[in-house]
A and B are shown apart, each in its own frame.
Chain A
Amino acid sequence: MDSFINRRWYSGMLTQEDWWSVWMGLAFFFLGLLSVTGVDLVGWVAYPSKWGGTAPLAKGLNPLGKAYQGLGPTGSLVVTYIIFTIATCIGAASMKWDVKKFFAGWTIIFTITYIVWLLGHHVFLAANITNRAKYGLSYSLSLGGGGSYILALLVGLIIGNFFKKFAGFLSEAAKPEWFIKTAIVFLGVKVGYMAMKAADFVFELAITGAAATIVAYLIFWPGTYLLARKFFKLPRKTSAVLSSGISICGVSAAVATGGAVRAKPLIPVMVSTLIVVYAVIELVILPPIFTATLIDEPIVAGATMGMAVKTDGADAAAGAVMDELMRNRKENLDGTKWEEGWITTSAIMTKIWIDMFIGLWAFVLALVWVYKIDRRPGERVPTSEVWHRFPKFVLGYFFTWFVYLGILFLAPDLTDSAKVGAVPVEKGMRKLFFMLTFLSMGIITDFKKLAEAKFGKMVFVYFVALFLFIIPVAFIVGYIFHHGMTVPIVTP
């Protein structure tokens, strides 16, 4: 099928998830941007609020935009469903998926997502020490929005591990990477106008994130490769692919490395299966551990997450959960209200630098492998390999970020009208796509895979490298570059 062959620089623009996260992200971004003309085309998105106790369920779901309040909860939910179904089905058709199966799966996933999102906002789960009395509660779990994310992941994992036929049916629509990359494009909007409040902080986060990434690459990869080769005696190509997957960035790095060293595709496929499962394990255990131990270094925690969690979906998801857990814990501890999204951004920013460097890393590795390690006369590595592996969703992220930054600094009188369209996109749509990511990730994760004999030693190499080397070193690198950075506080 020609559509899967990367012949030209523009190959895959209509058939790859990466590009479709850009198209979908930018489509709604531009719709939101039209608010500068006075029209709100995105405020219909249905968004949950805390309910329960003294807050009725009827107030638990509403459109985000003032202009759409007349829709009410049911109207906004129906409009949200219809519009996103059209958008995602167009994408599915373009990417040559089974559209009927996608539509059916998407409808179920969308429905479960909103049910769980609403349940997760029940005040027993979401309220914290500063607001639970308002709802008539003397105790609550203080999870904030994190409760919804955790619940979505749990429901997904239950489906994925105990209802495998159903999970198989949903798999055509369970696309965590597409959803999270679209959400990251939406996040660019938030980072753009957050920069107005803390431009220096955003700049520092970007620069230190890049520095931390470079250091991480230079330490993680050789360390993991040596562990795999010398200690566990894995073959060269398997060690290279596994090292990239564990130490750099999961599946994309494993595939890129497999390609760079001309490994049989089965090797990155097997490594990728492990990566996806371990990433979800990290997503479950790291946010509460970091919240409990790194509350005074939230940006260190976010950056560590970005270096430690190996898929974009799991990393962004883990960052989002930790954002909620840490903000609520901080508020419980001393009443400080940190601004939402910065901890998530620190996790994602680090991961974005890692993603951008993967193509360059794989190209360098290909050069070293082809011209030095496995030298064969007459073989050349085309420089276009760097572009083909470049994460295209990052283009969407930076585009949305810089457009809003441009508005804020070059046309500040448009800021208020721009924000009308920005909030439904960066808050409502971003969090919806985060929710879809959590649920989808759970659906496609089968923990039993770790027990399959074909993985053999790889399971143990992964465990030892990740938990005894990568995560501790990631923390040290994160601390060196982000120590002392604090989250901006909510201004009344």
Chain B
Amino acid sequence: MIEVIVTHDGKNWVAKNEFMSVAAQTIEILDTDVRKLVKQKVDCKAGENIRVFMLFDNSTIPQWMRQYAQHYFNRILEVDA
């Protein structure tokens, strides 16, 4: 499983880890870009399924709100090599 940290800068979703940094206005475009980079950078056999664990960085949520809710979302993206 590959881990990617997701934030939102007010305009774009941003996905980052040690080998990628991607920004996109919509989650769909972000997913497409993440998939492309994973296929480029990660060694895998043809037909293998790679799971990308996208963890939202909850410091994106304003501090005054975090007392009410401490979790936005985590999601899994499956990438077919």
Contacts and interface: CB of A to CB of B under 8 A. Distances in A.
Contacts of A264: 8, 13
B67 A12 contact: no
A64 to B, nearest CB: 28
Interface of B is mostly: mixed
Contact of A5 (B57, B66, B80): B57
Interface stretch (A228-236, A318-326, A382-390): A382-390
Contacts, number: 110
A456 interface: no
B64 A171 contact: yes
A6 B77 contact: no
Interface in A9-65: 12, 16-18
A444 interface: yes
Nearest to B35: A378
Contact of A4 (B27, B51, B59, B80): B59
Nearest to B12: A264
A378 B80 contact: yes
B21 interface: no
Interface stretch (A108-116, A251-259, A334-342, A468-476): A251-259
Contact of A376 (B31, B67, B69, B74): B31
Contacts of A411: none
A265 B60 contact: yes
B44 to A, nearest CB: 15
B77 A177 contact: no
Contact of B67 (A7, A175, A265, A381): A175
Contact of B76 (A16, A254, A266, A379): A379
B47 interface: no
B68 A251 contact: yes
B3 to A, nearest CB: 8
Contacts of B70: 6, 12, 16-18, 388
Interface string B49-63: 001010111111111
B68 A366 contact: no
Contact of A269 (B27, B35, B59, B61): B61
A176 B67 CA distance: 8
A311 interface: yes
A4 B57 contact: yes
A250 B60 CA distance: 19
A463 B69 CA distance: 23
B55 A259 contact: no
A390 to B, nearest CB: 9
B41 interface: no
Nearest to A259: B73
A239 to B, nearest CB: 18
A262 interface: yes
B10 A266 contact: yes
Given A6-B55, A255-B69, A266-B10, A382 B64 contact: no
A5 B56 contact: yes
A421 to B, nearest CB: 28
B36 interface: no
Interface string A238-262: 0000000000001110111011101
Given A379-B76, A385-B73, A178 B60 contact: no
Contact of B79 (A252, A366, A378): A378
Contact of A6 (B27, B71, B75): B71
Contact of A262 (B27, B51, B63): B27
B37 interface: no
B68 A5 contact: no
B28 interface: yes
B74 A388 contact: yes
Contacts of B3: 7
Contacts of A5: 5, 55-58
B68 A272 contact: yes
Which 5 residue pairs of A and B lie closest in terms of their CB atoms, listed nearest first?
Answer: A259-B73, A251-B68, A255-B69, A380-B76, A177-B67
Given A250-B68, A255-B69, 19 more contacts: A17-B66, A17-B67, A171-B64, A176-B67, A251-B69, A262-B75, A265-B72, A268-B61, A269-B61, A272-B65, A376-B28, A378-B31, A378-B78, A378-B80, A380-B78, A382-B74, A382-B75, A384-B74, A388-B71
Interface of A: 1, 4-7, 12, 16-18, 97, 171, 175-178, 250-252, 254-256, 258-260, 262, 264-266, 268-269, 272, 311-312, 366, 370, 376, 378-382, 384-385, 388-389, 444
